[in-house]
Chain A
């Protein structure tokens, strides 16, 4: 009887994810015995490296935690440090930071949809293989990815580890000509994004509703990115400074990334959680596009994450165009005088909330840093989803199909393992 079998399914290297992870699944007597998203990427201990460094070095250091979402690390860091020093960089900097963040969402989501996720839904091993049959879709995705990278580079000089951000603002204001060169491509990108949203809504996504708690930032008027309160669809509504009082992190044996829980339970962060909690904050044209789709948000089908990413690409490009179309250069930031204190930053990285906490001394040196990245927060939810999805899929399926389904479930979260593992905190016991 295949449905009462024992099996050990091991995927030692997960493909199409950022970083090093593995999937381990043991079936005993036809039931799941153990199931692990094993994260074995070695810890890089960034929080320790930050200690003693000058506050000016922080944006360049934390960028190195993640090559895919360096802007998010920089944004959470500068928000936290500016709150320590009592600096308000003003509306121009705030707008341009939002433009830069829009660029990161666009490039990261476009990369995930086309190079990492879509091959699953359409039955290919890689985007390069998929490009033979879907050349226009893959090229459109790569063009959107490139457009996102250009938005980052406009303010950051380059898209990976950008160099333009500083505590207090930016090092440089882009020239009007550089912005104007982008405007026609942003307009075209919005059309491409609309086509992408419709394409994603038509992908053959599995239909598998699950119960889970969504957590995201929420802002009075904007779709959340750089600012907001932390909310959940379970009644949480707190300022970001209270994160550590509600969320708990703990180490598990099979992961070099800490797991996190809210009220003792796993929870979801990222595009689907954001959209579930903030669909009413989308730009008008994105909201209108959403009403035209066969899918409704909030959604509890995790596979709608792919569609949520496409919707956020559209929203980010609409926002970027609105923020840039009457662009004028300005003084790109405020001078900063350090002082001792504690500060918190929380922004919406492409993969979800990214929380930073710094203690700073009066010379502006970092005394202590805590960073909670989105993928470590999602680990518990990923394992819970794997269990539910594989049971719903049917454990009697052959090993290879179970493996493929499991990989697809994991990939759907766009896990950024490189980021998630760099925060294993050391608890030194001194006797």
Chain B
């Protein structure tokens, strides 16, 4: 993102929620002492789960959790954009549509358009889309969930007038620095580390299991090569597709790779 001039004293911070599990807001609520420190540095103008309700408030930084999956939410996110200087998405739902974006590519397409027990009660779209599909987003923090280091780091940078660092490296680099045994090469597991964005602390390989891509695609991913490698490990095409079409199925790089394997159009 482009750095804008430093935010003046007592910047106003809002945390908005759309369709999500609330887990990314916990990056703040699990902050403990850091949360109290943050509350001393900024004015929290809207954060319903923390007890501050003023959804119409103007904010210098608006954090947005959750995806757009209801018609009424399209207008709400546009209003938030109009009232906010920086909009930062937190987590897989806000950044890529979340796990619920699986509805976008479902074979049974139109689940939501099909006949419900009482369909007239619902306001639900056929799709779950990221915030950036609807408004301009200044920064996207990936992860399912994002952690405190990411969100508080972003606030800290903006308070200091610098652009937060966009971590786009592949997980493999972080994993190597941890000194983990490679789950893919040595373990033969269907690890997504080679195409997944760093930031989690290489947790899964540290526990001896394969990365399942919850931080979304890294920069310049070679999903083609990884897909072939996974097939070489014995995965059938449908299983390769499901590796990509999981937590971040709405991220373009993963969606394209997943659909290619799913559709059997792979060479």
Contacts and interface: CB of A to CB of B under 8 A. Distances in A.
Interface string B3-28: 00000000000000101111111100
A64 B207 contact: no
Interface of A: 13-20, 40-46, 48-49, 53-54, 57, 60-61, 64-68, 70, 107, 111, 115-116, 119, 124-129, 131, 138-139, 142-143, 145-146, 149, 157-161, 163-164, 166, 171-172, 251, 253-254, 256, 416, 418-419, 424-429
Interface stretch (B100-108, B160-168, B171-179, B250-258): B100-108
Would you list the 10 A-B pairs with minimal beta carbon distance, nearest first? A67-B23, A126-B51, A172-B207, A157-B203, A142-B32, A67-B21, A44-B100, A42-B70, A160-B145, A171-B209
State the majority secondary structure of interface residues on B.
loop
Interface of B: 17, 19-26, 29-30, 32-33, 35-36, 39, 44, 48-53, 55, 69-70, 73, 98-100, 102-103, 106, 108, 111-112, 114-118, 121-125, 128, 144-145, 147, 200-201, 203-204, 206-209, 212, 214, 239, 242, 246-247
A44 B19 contact: yes
B193 to A, nearest CB: 13
Contact of B30 (A66, A159, A171): A159
B207 A157 contact: yes
B29 A20 contact: no
B50 A172 contact: no
Contacts of A20: 17
B69 A44 contact: yes
Contact of A49 (B100, B125, B214): B100
A142 to B, nearest CB: 4
Nearest to A49: B102
Contacts of B112: 45, 426
A427 B124 CA distance: 15
Contact of B207 (A15, A17, A146, A171): A171
B48 A41 contact: no
A129 B58 CA distance: 21
Given A13-B48, A163-B207, A68 B32 contact: no
B145 A251 contact: no
Contact of B51 (A125, A139, A418): A125
A15 B111 contact: no
Given A66-B21, A146-B32, A42 B123 contact: yes
Contact of A68 (B22, B48, B98): B22
A72 to B, nearest CB: 12
Nearest to B128: A44
Given A115-B50, A128-B36, A53 B242 contact: yes
